Amino acid sequence: MPQGQIRKALSGFYYVYDDGKMIQCRARGVFRNRGESPLVGDFVDYTVEGENDGTITVIHERKNNLVRPPIANIDQAILVFSIKEPDFNTILLDRFLVVLESFYIEPIICLTKSDLMDEQMKKTMDAYIKDYEQIGYQVLMTYKDDPAFDEKIAPLLKDKTTVLAGQSGVGKSTLLNTILPSLDLKTGVISNALGRGKHTTRHVELIEVCGGLLADTPGFSSFEFDLMEKEELSKCFPEFVEKQDACKFRECLHVKEPKCAVKEAVESGEIKEYRYKHYLQFFDEIVERKPRY
């Protein structure tokens, strides 16, 4: 049975890429009966009906999947954050990072509008960049019309499935227009390919670019901790994971417990206090979440 990958979903059809061809498929009714739904990014088996039509029969096991937007098997996310207009926001960045860690998606932090920085802001941002790099995150800095930017980002996309995420107004469109000329498409075609045309519905689509697949996903601007339990949260802070084996209690939540190695590392400055404060805020959010029935 032929196999392929869903590259686009639109109006009940799934467009399955297989060896250079795109097959327009419907999903078998059995998925609906089980409450399952194929997602963009899924690897599937399908049967062929006619030259370019088919039916999806099997969805292969996923590495991960997001609910909003509905997309599966993501390797990495480029988190686009502006330094100014809107101002850089560590709590929002940490929220993104935590949720991506929980899905085993590797984050790359991309800071835009660095040309708007004054000297004081440059010092502040240099300190933040150092903090996040010490945790182990990759940080890219860009400015308007940066001629070297394509060289920085193109190698990161090769052989990976990447999503772009960030608030509106941070420069995602500019970033896409920098990356996507390598597709050799005119702007109008890019707009339509990404569902940005005036009369097109926003949809999730994987586009081949720089030797990998890129999704610009609608509605991917904020994250909730809907699916996370309080015991999982600290596992999404890499610098906490490094310390937690030294905590007195094996199931330490790093909140009120005595002899907590994470809290000691915060006091000594080894773990940044703002990161710990964000952890406590997210922890409270999870604890106070209304139960789902």
Could you give all domains of the chain from N- to C-terminal order, each with its CATH number?
A: 3-61 (2.40.50.140), 71-216 (3.40.50.300), 230-287 (1.10.40.50)
Identify the pLDDT of residue 202: 60
Q: Which two tokens stand for residue 213?
A: 């697949």
Identify the pLDDT of residue 145: 65
Our measurement of the distance from residue 184's CA atom to the centroid of its chain's CA atoms, rounded to an integer in Å, reads 25
pTM of the predicted model as reported, rounded to 2 decimal places = 0.85
Asked if 179 contacts 212 with a C-beta cutoff of 8 angstroms, the reply is no
Report the chain (293 residues): mean pLDDT per 10 consecutive residues: 94 93 92 89 94 92 87 93 88 93 94 87 95 96 70 89 79 67 44 44 79 73 76 97 96 96 97 98 91 62
| 76-82, strands of its sheet edge to edge | 138-141, 106-112, 76-82, 161-165, 212-216, 206-209
Asked if 44 contacts 3 with a C-beta cutoff of 8 angstroms, the reply is yes
Of 62, 59, 39, 44, give the one whose Cα is nearest residue 2: 44
110/188 Cα distance (integer angstroms): 25
215/20 Cα distance (integer angstroms): 19
Of 10, 93, 103, 3, give the one whose Cα is nearest residue 43: 3
208/291 Cα distance (integer angstroms): 40
Q: Under DSSP, is residue 227 helix (H, G, I), strand (E, B) or coil?
A: coil
113/81 Cα distance (integer angstroms): 9
33/30 Cα distance (integer angstroms): 5
Asked if 92 contacts 282 with a C-beta cutoff of 8 angstroms, the reply is no
